[in-house]
Structure 1
């Protein structure tokens, strides 16, 4: 076995005696994605292999956010599932659901849905576009409800599974909130052709509104076979975005045009989020399948992953370096062999009110001090926890910080403090 936990022989590459890496599906600057096979039951999976030696400190927070975002969203049928995270000294392995149908950009470029504009045809008819777009917005709405902004919604990150259902993938650029208040973002990221004007302009922005814009671009592409804003260069296209100049093919219905106009509103203050607009619009209520209706119904209310629904991770996982770079707030971190329910009861006895977060984690409140407790299972017997201050930093440092440490010291092992 090499330093990356791989066994080689007979042309096979086996990682940690659990998965066989088969063919390469794609590669990035610091990761490769393989089609893999789970040895236990021969199930097909996708394995993202991240080379620790090739990553830099600036990249590590993105890896952690991808893991945390997928953990929060693992229950939605239109989001690629994260099955397991494993690690060795040199590699991190993200074992995910395999979407065998490829991505939507490949379908377009491959000609299956390619628009023949001269003949007045388009990639999807209304019914097909509605079906895929309903699946997209159900997933994006679920992300918003669980405090996740994807920030890179584009055709390449929309996949098809073996049953022809849409799946959102690649949460490497996602942003996570604390579920306590709206979070204003300022990082310019994503793909310019799908980015909202406020993102391109490097203004502070609402992640949910930015994702809604990207969805508007996707819907236009589904129906028109091209991008919504035209121009000879980037400056001309940006001016068209600001002026709200969208040229629709005659084949796009008035109802669909209204939706696209709302989503591609250059003013984020008047642009709706997906949840605010889509669940009530009549265009999405036509000719939907019972299964899709059930999917939307199930996720109108947030079905979240809380601290008790965390993913199982291999005991070989070591993301301590990533955790060190992840947050700037005051925080404490611990390892425990005690079940989270017992930890929660101990915190209650210390006088903290305990509230479940909107999308995961536990909110702790005591006399103006607000903390957020996140717990991850890193093996069948070990839990990794992190407590960070949300409100009342000075009071917490002077009074509650030491009290909190002493109150749990017999059941947890404190790892670090910042």
Structure 2
């Protein structure tokens, strides 16, 4: 009997074609993912050089819930800090209507947190070398007006040689935001509680650099001791421990290292050791890394010298990172600034007019519409009309770029017809409107 014919094997499925974005980068494996972004390893189509690309989905529910200003902060801060060898570099920014692509330096060594988990702890000399690089990076941040505010091992990456790369500036604060008004102190609670200074969690006004110094103390303790100084499932209990300095050193920690950690983990920010004082300690200067010397030599890094041309989806050039993100449809820059107090209605617009012109125009329009000037200080003005109070605040967020925020409180609601009068009168100042609607803080 003739054997039955065997069915011919199905052809093997063709491997999926590689994903190439903007004809410039080929995406590889996923390196990490968050609530509204994924980070991919990628390579340049032109020269095959390796990069990391963070892809942010502007339509995700998570991004709607989290201030989009994290994107702005991250790009603006990284561009400002581009020249430091221990800060992750951003190469370019591209966007479509639905996604933003941040093309960054690849750190193949992964997170410091993962390395700590595998090793348990570092020798004191190895810990010092990493810590010197971290402090060098943060000192450079502070000298250039950036407080990181989320310093933790998860946001510290390592390159192929084990050198440190500070990353993730989404919660950073830029000093430009506070130049025209306020005391220069910050007020927003942000960061990860086990690494965050007590004054931040207790919602006091705080110094960004001093808060970063506390985080450095936590990280140094982890590097040398292999554990956290404070641990508790309750945040209130955690910070009671921090306030009491309730931690113990293992026997192998040297006296000079204990001195540094104790002074960084001072719950009083006024007496806490800052990073400038840390640079002068005997423990820190031992076997000092050569790159620290460039900081003490007083080298100046100007923002203008770091500026580079960008392509926005291949069509817009000669724009800085802030311009690019502002152009991306659907992004709201409202979360970029520290705001105190609760308001019922908020309107925001950007303007290239100088502060004095904006101030005079607001006073003029207010007078036409029956508002009297009640108070003016720095970049803030308060105008009143009966029981209705209008607060106008102006921030310089980049060179020749202002953000104006108009808040209405009181018995008279800012009905659309009423607001249209203001909007028509202010029109000549406006580059772009943002958050033209109501929000609740």
Q: Same fold judged by TM-score > 0.5?
A: yes
- The two structures, once aligned, show a CA RMSD in angstroms of 2.9
* Alpha-carbon distance in 1 for matches of 2:310, 2:67: 21
* Alpha-carbon distance in 1 for matches of 2:151, 2:183: 20
* Alpha-carbon distance in 1 for matches of 2:312, 2:158: 32
Given the alignment, which residue of 145, 150, 167 partners 2:148? 150
* Alpha-carbon distance in 2 for matches of 1:329, 1:53: 22
Deviation at 1:224, TM superposition (A): 0.3
1:281 aligns with 2:281: yes
* Alpha-carbon distance in 1 for matches of 2:19, 2:28: 8
Q: Compared with structure 1, are the counterparts of its residues 330 and 304 closer, same or farther at alpha carbon in structure 2 (3 Å cutoff)?
A: farther
Deviation at 1:374, TM superposition (A): 2.6
- The match for 2:248 is 247
Matches within 5 A, 1:114-193: 114=120, 123-178=121-176, 180=179, 183-193=184-194
Bigger Cα Rg: 2
- The match for 1:213 is 214
- The match for 2:309 is 312
Report Cα offsets for 1:7-66 as digits up to 9, x if no partner. xx9431111111111000111110000001011111100000001111217421111111
* Alpha-carbon distance in 2 for matches of 1:371, 1:234: 34
- The match for 1:338 is none
- The match for 1:386 is 401
1:61 aligns with 2:73: no
Q: Compared with structure 1, are the counterparts of its residues 302 and 148 closer, same or farther at alpha carbon in structure 2 (3 Å cutoff)?
A: farther
Deviation at 1:320, TM superposition (A): 5.9
CA contact 1:71–1:305 (8 Å) conserved in 2: no
- The match for 1:299 is 295
Report Cα offsets for 1:328-368 as digits up to 9, x if no partner. 9987445xxxxxxxx9xxx9xx9xxxxxxxxxxxxxxxxx9
CA contact 2:210–2:269 (8 Å) conserved in 1: yes
Report Cα offsets for 1:371-413 as digits up to 9, x if no partner. 84735xxxxxxxxx524589xxxxxxxxxxx9xx89xxxxxxx
- The match for 2:18 is 12
SS at match of 1:140: helix
- The match for 1:394 is none
SS at match of 1:259: helix
* Alpha-carbon distance in 2 for matches of 1:60, 1:269: 33
**Where in structure 2 are there 5+ consecutive unaligned residues?**
1-14, 314-323, 338-345, 358-377, 380-393, 406-424, 435-441
SS at match of 2:279: helix
- The match for 1:90 is 98
**Where in structure 1 are there 5+ consecutive unaligned residues?**
1-8, 115-122, 335-342, 351-367, 376-384, 391-401, 407-413
- The match for 1:106 is 114
Q: Compared with structure 1, are the counterparts of its residues 51 and 330 closer, same or farther at alpha carbon in structure 2 (3 Å cutoff)?
A: closer
CA contact 1:73–1:305 (8 Å) conserved in 2: no
Q: Compared with structure 1, are the counterparts of its residues 329 and 224 closer, same or farther at alpha carbon in structure 2 (3 Å cutoff)?
A: farther
Deviation at 1:236, TM superposition (A): 3.6
1:26 aligns with 2:42: no
TM-score by length of 2: 0.69
Aligned length: 336
SS at match of 1:163: coil
1:71 aligns with 2:79: yes
TM-score by length of 1: 0.73
- The match for 2:340 is none
Deviation at 1:197, TM superposition (A): 0.8
* Alpha-carbon distance in 2 for matches of 1:85, 1:218: 31
* Alpha-carbon distance in 1 for matches of 2:246, 2:299: 35
Deviation at 1:88, TM superposition (A): 0.8
